[in-house]
Amino acid sequence: MTLSSFEKSIHDARPLELYEFSHGLSIFTYTSGDEVISFQSRTYTPTALTRSTFGSTTEVSKMKLEIEVARDNEVAKLFIRSHPGPVKLTIYRMHRGDSDVVPQWIGRVVNVEFSGLIAKITCAPIYTSLERAGLRGMFQRLCRHALYDTGCTLNAAAFRDTATIVSVVGSAITVVPMNRPSGWYTGGYIEVGDVEKKMIRDHTNDVLTLTGVTASLKAGVTINLYAGCVHDRNACLNKFNNFDNYGGFEFIPNDMGPFKGDPIE
């Protein structure tokens, strides 16, 4: 029988779901059934989980899918200290005794909350990652472009350095060698492997303060460092030599503007 036939059957339908979480090269596979399932050369192990219903709405904030698992679930543990980076989820649907398997839902993990022995994994459909403001450019003095994006045009690899972590204290890491002046990496980011990225909030001497740390950040780990930008004329011109693509308007008159009652002539 096909999946469609099982879905329509009153007596033969025995549905179950396969959950595939991927974080870089790490794959975590579970099934809502009570038996081990093999699919696409992967083994899906039974685990206690419940999920909310799949919804359809035009409001992005209401498109979330919530999955409750045990606190010690491997996927949940990735989020204990901070967000580990992109975690994708594909849910497949099938019926016991049948080989017909179809993808039912594809998305990404956006948050994990811990409460007692339970972890609630909040996910969003994959197409929500495409949501962007229609018009985000503004008439402003500072550059409106995100560093290294298509408007900025800078190649991040050209401003990448490599260093080794010496120590981790809270959200601050000490790295060597540090051959750049203080502030060079402020507003930039670090990269661990090909998946994890953390923004650099402050760079003072050989200490970087991050927006958060993960279990992979520890002494002896080699990381990539990317220069940061304060989005002003001086940084664009002298630090990056990229003034042709500067997205700010430095010489906006101070005494004129659309909210002052006088037109800009």
Considering the domain boundaries, does residue 40 fall inside one?
Answer: yes
Give me the domain span that covers residue 14: 3-127
Q: What average pLDDT does range 3-23 have in this prediction?
A: 70
Tokens representing 123?
């996910």
Assign residue 2 a region (left: φ > 0; alpha: ψ between -120 and 50; beta: otherwise): beta
Q: How far is 14 from 94, CA to CA, in rounded Å?
A: 8
pLDDT tens readout for residues 40-96: 999 999 999 999 988 666 565 567 899 999 999 999 998 887 778 789 999 999 888
pTM: 0.62
pLDDT above 50: residue 38: yes
Count of other CB atoms within 10 angstroms of residue 235 = 21
Cα–Cα distance for residue pair 219/246, rounded to 1 Å:
38
Q: How far is CA 202 from CA 42, 145, 166, 227, in A?
A: 43, 20, 17, 11
Number of domains in the chain: 2
- Give tens-digit pLDDT for 171-219: 899 999 888 999 999 999 999 887 788 899 999 999 999 987 777 888 9
CATH number at residue 91: 2.40.10
Domain harbouring 180, CATH code: 2.40.30.20
Say yes or no: 115 and 170 in one domain.
no
Q: Which two tokens stand for residue 59?
A: 């409001």
Give the CA distances from residue 190 to residues 67, 166, 233, in Å, rounded to whole numbers and listed in that order.
30, 15, 24
How far CA 250 is from CA of 143, 164, 264, in Å, comes to: 9, 38, 15
Per-residue confidence (pLDDT) for residue 129, from 0 to 100: 64
Domain membership of residue 250 (yes or no) is no
Radius of gyration of the chain (CA): 24
Rounded distance between C-alpha atoms, residue 207 and residue 225, angstroms: 12
Residue 214 lies in a domain: yes
pLDDT confidence band for 262 (50 / 70 / 90): low
Q: What is the pLDDT of residue 61?
A: 56
Contacts of 30 (CB under 8 A, 6+ apart): 18, 19, 44, 45, 46, 47, 49
